[in-house]
């Protein structure tokens, strides 16, 4: 299904929450970084006919729109400082990339539990910053919103929707283990043939892999918690004045928009209120700036490679030099989104940029390959433009995304901490020269 058709069907569903003959009012509870980019695509369509208000904390890192947008922001004072929020994200990413992969299975998930509970405490702080502000809550209630759209990875939208008596639409990739999709959304995911989210398994499992999949399911269902549910249950019950749970309130969401699609997903059962909308942000490529265009044209018949690890920022000097040495050995020209000191092994075929127009480069006819961390946005841009990938997953959903691309025959996988320059060279030769 085309992106335009998917977007049209999505808007048709959302329009059911609005009264006929007039635009409605939409309230958004967002999440930072790539999560925000996905929600913003939906909002940019909704704002054409409806009033859209985004609830954002005073300390935020990525909630921005262009000057022509009519999206309104309701900014509330945050208990966290800007520096505190930035440190939270940077430190958690550093641990997930450089420390956790070296640990055993149980230690890995113990450390992941520590990381996500720090986020849970931050999200709880944001929730209290809103629900305990009487003036703000009165303003929101009197605004009579027709629907609330939220990224459920930051909790509290379910509580706000309950207080404001507003229908709730979720937008997410997945929760670890898909626990809330299963136990709040009711989505059946049999472990006999559906790989557990974050298991890094495919749908072509051997018997022992199925056993492993069941172990992952038990781990996520009975041990690992994405959020500190005891604290959230207490907060929700205190605010509503009656006993309730996080799982119960999340279960009241009307629609779950899943940020992937069947070109990437493995087969599994569905429910009517789960819609798979991956790739909504994909667009045709725009013309490249002259400097970029000239470098692309100089690549000749070999074409170019696009390399981006997105928001990860600075690689260690040793890893950057390993990657640069590998890139120097390939015949293609390379656009590398990179921050930090210039690697000593950088070849003349590689140019460094703090930011690249990723979609426009992937859509250029001379682009031959995409080296990516495997974020959902980048993966879908590669799918949209038909570009094979070398996946170097770092954290979160990226491992599963790259496994899915490899299983579908659209990419290969490397490990950031253990790969050699030759591994990168061979991976690029494989996806540019050999059918996958």
Q: For the chain, give every residue range classified as CATH 3.40.50.2000.
A: 290-433
Secondary element (H or E) of residue 25: strand 25-29
Q: pTM of the predicted model, to two decimals?
A: 0.90
Q: H helices within 244-346, ranges in order?
A: 246-250, 290-297, 317-327
Fold of 290-433: Rossmann fold (3.40.50)
Place of tokens 């149980």: 106
What's the confidence (pLDDT) of residue 182? 97
∠ CA 219-224-228, nearest 5°, is 160
The share of the chain scoring above pLDDT 70, in percent, equals 93
Is 313's pLDDT higher than 70?
no
Is 333's pLDDT higher than 50?
yes
Q: Is 198 helix (H, G, I), strand (E, B) or coil?
A: coil
Q: For residue range 217-238, what is the model confidence (pLDDT) as tens digits? A: 999 999 999 999 999 999 999 9
Task: Dump the DSSP string for 78-109.
Answer: -SS-HHHHHHHHHHHHHIIIIIGGGS-HHHHH
Q: How far is CA 197 from CA 94, 214, 285, 312, in A?
A: 22, 12, 32, 22
Is 378's pLDDT higher than 60?
yes
CB 227 within 8 A of CB 155: yes
CB 150 within 8 A of CB 157: yes
Whether domain 3-82+127-276 has CATH 2.40.160:
no
64-73 long-range contacts, Cβ below 8 Å, gap at least 24?
65/40, 69/44, 71/43, 71/44, 71/47
Is 11's pLDDT higher than 60?
no
Mean pLDDT (whole number) for 335-353: 93
What's the confidence (pLDDT) of residue 371? 97
Predicted confidence band at 34 (pLDDT cuts at 50, 70, 90)? confident
∠ CA 245-271-255, nearest 5°, is 60
Instruction: Tell me the β-bridge partners of 333.
Output: 304
Q: H helices within 24-147, ranges in order?
A: 34-46, 82-94, 105-131, 134-142
Q: Which residues are CB-neighbours of 299 under 8 A, at least 6 positions away?
A: 332, 333, 366
Measured between alpha carbons, how far is 8 from 5 in angstroms, rounded to an integer? Answer: 5
Mean pLDDT (whole number) for 402-415: 95
Using only C-alpha atoms, what is the Rg of the chain?
A: 22
Measured between alpha carbons, how far is 405 from 329 in angstroms, rounded to an integer? Answer: 25
First to last CA, the chain: 24
Q: For residue range 16-25, what is the model confidence (pLDDT) as tens digits? A: 555 545 678 9
Q: How far is CA 350 from CA 152, 325, 355, in A?
A: 39, 10, 14
Is 9's pLDDT higher than 50?
no
- As given in the structure block, the two tokens for residue 292 are 């970029």
- As given in the structure block, the two tokens for residue 112 are 């992941």
Strand-strand pairing, 367-372 and 72-76: unpaired
Measured between alpha carbons, how far is 24 from 47 in angstroms, rounded to an integer? Answer: 10
What's the confidence (pLDDT) of residue 22? 62
pLDDT, averaged across the chain: 90
Mean pLDDT (whole number) for 89-109: 90
∠ CA 242-244-249, nearest 5°, is 125
Q: DSSP character for 167?
A: -
CA dihedral 266, 94, 378, 317 (to 10 degrees): -130
């Amino acid at each position: 299904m085309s992106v335009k058709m998917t977007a049209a069907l999505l808007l048709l569903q959302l329009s059911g929450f609005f009264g006929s003959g007039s635009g409605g009012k939409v309230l958004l509870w967002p999440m930072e970084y790539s999560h925000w980019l996905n929600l913003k695509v939906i909002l940019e369509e909704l704002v054409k006919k409806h009033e859209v208000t985004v609830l954002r904390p005073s300390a935020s890192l990525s909630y921005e729109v262009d000057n022509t947008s009519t999206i309104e922001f309701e900014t509330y004072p945050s208990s966290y400082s800007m520096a505190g929020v930035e440190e939270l994200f940077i430190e958690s990413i550093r641990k997930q990339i450089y420390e956790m992969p070296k640990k055993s299975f149980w230690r890995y998930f113990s450390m992941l539990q520590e990381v996500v509970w720090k986020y849970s405490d931050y999200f709880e702080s944001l929730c209290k910053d809103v629900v305990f502000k009487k003036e703000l809550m009165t303003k929101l209630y009197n605004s009579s919103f027709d629907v609330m759209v939220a990224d459920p990875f930051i909790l509290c939208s379910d509580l706000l929707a309950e207080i404001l008596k507003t229908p709730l639409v979720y937008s997410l990739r997945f929760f670890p283990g898909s626990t809330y999709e299963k136990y709040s959304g009711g989505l059946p995911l049999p472990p006999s043939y559906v790989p557990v989210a974050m298991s890094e398994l495919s749908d072509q499992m051997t018997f022992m892999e199925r056993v492993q999949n069941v172990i992952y399911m038990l781990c996520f269902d009975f041990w690992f918690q994405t959020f500190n549910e005891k604290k959230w249950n207490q907060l929700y019950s205190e605010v509503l004045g009656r006993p309730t749970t996080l799982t119960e309130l999340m279960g009241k969401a009307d629609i779950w928009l899943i940020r992937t699609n069947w070109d990437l997903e493995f087969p599994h059962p569905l429910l009517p209120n789960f819609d798979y909308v991956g790739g909504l942000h994909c667009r045709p490529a725009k013309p490249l700036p002259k400097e970029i265009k000239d470098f692309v044209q100089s690549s000749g018949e070999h074409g170019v490679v696009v390399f981006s690890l997105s928001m990860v920022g600075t690689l260690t000097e040793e890893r950057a030099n390993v990657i640069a040495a590998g890139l120097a050995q390939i015949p293609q020209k390379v656009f590398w989104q990179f921050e930090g000191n210039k690697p000593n092994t950088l070849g003349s075929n590689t140019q460094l940029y703090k930011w690249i127009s990723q979609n426009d480069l992937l859509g250029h006819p001379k682009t031959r390959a995409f080296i990516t961390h495997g974020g959902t946005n980048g993966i879908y841009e590669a799918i949209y433009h038909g570009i094979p990938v070398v996946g170097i997953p770092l954290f979160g959903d990226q491992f599963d995304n790259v496994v899915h691309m490899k299983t579908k025959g659209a990419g290969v996988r490397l490990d950031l901490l253990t790969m050699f320059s030759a591994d990168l060279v061979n991976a690029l030769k494989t996806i540019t020269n050999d059918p996958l």
